[in-house]
Amino acid sequence: MLTGRNILLGISGGIAAYKTPHLVRLLKKSGAEVQVLATGSALKFVSELSLATVSRRPVLTDIFSADTGHESERTMHITLGEWADAFVIAPATANTLAKLSAGLCDDMLSLCFLTLRPGKPVLVAPAMDGHMYDSPSVQRNLAVLTRQGCHVMEPEIGSLASGQCGLGRMPEPETIFEALTEMLAAPKDSALRGKTVVVTAGPTREKIDGVRFLSNYSSGKMGFAIAADAARRGAVVRLVTGPVNLPTPPGVERLDVESAEQMLAAARPLFDGCDLFIGAAAVADYRPEAPVEGKIKKNAAEMELHLVRNPDILATFATGRKPGQLAVGFALETAGGVEYARKKLVDKQLDLVAFNIYDGRTSGFEVDTNALTLLGRDGSVTELPLLPKEEAAGKLLDAIEPLLRR
């Protein structure tokens, strides 16, 4: 799968470094050439000899460690940036993340990160204590790297070196290997490469009181699949999501919100800088006019709830967008409704609408498959069969790519 590919593997000083020889073996078995770049701290957790043996290359650590006076070795960090097809950093500790986000370089790992040629994928696998991972400083640094186009993997939940159990484990080598192969399988000529894409996903919750809310059955799976595939094609993806129980796709910057108004507030600052806006969220059309603090008591046989309209996030973007920006939406009905989707396309001034039916079994909310009908502004109609949502997302982006080229 990776025959002829050149991979830089950066290893920083976390306990998970002991797993990296297995990752090197997976890469080598798949046909890749692997150059290991290890920090001094990393070699306290895994031996230099084991890494050199499985990679069949000397491990590079200090900037001057390989300097024997030959010009080629003094500029090795430059040539490695040209040689590599991808850069994997696993484990990525809090210290390494801080250096990379700030542009500091005091070892071969951080130096090669700066010399890697633009457009080549970077896969970052953070690993640290859960409290460290959740700290504002680490999250800020991860957001910076994501905006730069790095694909950041979500840590796993499990036993940590501290003896506690929680978020912070480095994904297993097999998981990192699969993520890398998916990244390298992305088409190099994709019209999405280098574009900025904003995706909304999931449901919104509209508060009735402190313990109750109005919502819907959206799982967010369709929007997350779109965000993941757009990132795989080389786009800079920002995902604004309502409450869902899904991991963040690699390479995607995620913003979590609850209500429709919060979703608009989070998405609006992203409008000007995006090339494509995809409204896949199931935004509640209405919200209670006056949510109650605390809990409403059960005092009467009936309760009257006054609802008001929520802002239309997709229409807000589409009607105020700049020339060249694309707007894509979804239209869901329980039966029929393709004409409603066509009306939505026209009324909201969209470039494309994905129409789907909610049947409670195979298509729509809370399932892993979807059947989309794509309606274009030019009058085109493309009916897709029932597909896994990941494949449906790919077909949707395939239809969007020609619009971006035009």
Q: What is the CATH number of the domain that holds 356?
A: 3.40.50.10300
Q: Is 179 in the same domain as 283?
A: no
Query: Taking every pair of C-alpha atoms in the chain, what is the biggest distance, in angstroms?
Result: 88
What are the structure tokens assigned to 198, written together? Answer: 């904003």
The three-class DSSP label of residue 53 is helix
Q: In this structure, is residue 189 part of a structural domain?
A: no
| 324 pLDDT more than 90 | yes
Residue 305 DSSP class:
-
What are the structure tokens assigned to 328, written together? Answer: 């894509």
Query: Residue 168 corresponds to which amino acid?
Result: G
Q: Is 107 in the same domain as 129?
A: yes
| Residue 161: domain span | 6-184
d(CA 346, CA 378): 11
187-243 pLDDT tens trace:
767 899 889 999 999 999 999 999 999 999 999 999 999 999 998 888 989 999 999
What integer pLDDT is reported at residue 115 of this predicted model?
93
- Average pLDDT of the residues of the chain: 91
82-120 pLDDT tens trace:
999 999 999 999 999 999 999 999 999 999 999 998 878
Q: Is 209 in the same domain as 229?
A: yes
Q: Which of 141, 216, 245, 370 is catalytic?
A: 216
Q: In this structure, is residue 1 part of a structural domain?
A: no
340-352 pLDDT tens trace:
999 999 999 999 9
Binding-site positions: 285, 295, 311-314, 330, 344, 348
> What H or E segment, with its residue span, contains residue 94?
helix 94-102
Q: Is 208 in the same domain as 165?
A: no
d(CA 338, CA 357): 9
Domain end call among 184, 205, 234? 184
CATH number of 169's domain: 3.40.50.1950
Q: In this structure, is residue 30 part of a structural domain?
A: yes
Q: Is 137 in the same domain as 238?
A: no
Give the count of domains, the chain. 2
In DSSP terms, which residues pair with 287 in a beta bridge? 308
Is 216 annotated in the active site?
A: yes
What integer pLDDT is reported at residue 69 of this predicted model?
46
Q: Is 157 in the same domain as 68?
A: yes
Q: Which pTM was predicted?
A: 0.74
d(CA 30, CA 181): 10
Binding-site positions for CTP: 285, 295, 311-314, 330, 344, 348
Query: Residue 388 corresponds to which amino acid?
Result: P
Q: In this structure, is residue 229 part of a structural domain?
A: yes
